[in-house]
Amino acid sequence: MTEQTVVHLARQTVELTLMLSAPMLLAGLVIGLIISIFQAVTQIQEMTLTFVPKIVAVMVALLLAFPWMMKKLIEFTQNLILNIPGFLQ
C-alpha cells in the first residue's frame, strides 16, 4: 500500500463523512437560524427554546436521509472490499 493510496482512501473517507453528516447539520442550522430570528423578533430569550426543535429537525432529517446514507455507505464499503487485492500490492 503506497502513500498515495492511503491519502486517497483518507480523502474519500473524509468526503463521505462530510457528505453523510450534511443533511443533519443543515437541518439543525436552518432551524437554529429560524428560532434565533423568532427570538430576536419576539424578544424571548429562553435558552432551552432552541433544543427541542433542533433535535426534532435533526431526527427528521436523519429519517429522510437514511436510505441515501446507507446506499452511500454500502457503495463505499463494497468498493473498499473489492479493491483490497489492489491495496496489498
For residue 89, pLDDT over 80 is answered with no
For residue 49, pLDDT over 90 is answered with no
Greatest extent of the chain over all pairs of C-alpha atoms, in Å: 64
What's the domain count of the chain?
A: 1
What pLDDT, on the 0 to 100 scale, is given for residue 66? Answer: 97
Say how far apart CA 38 and CA 42 lie, in whole Å: 6
For residue 20, the enclosing domain spans 3-87
Percentage of the chain beyond pLDDT 90 is 70
What pLDDT, on the 0 to 100 scale, is given for residue 88? Answer: 82
Say how far apart CA 10 and CA 48 lie, in whole Å: 38
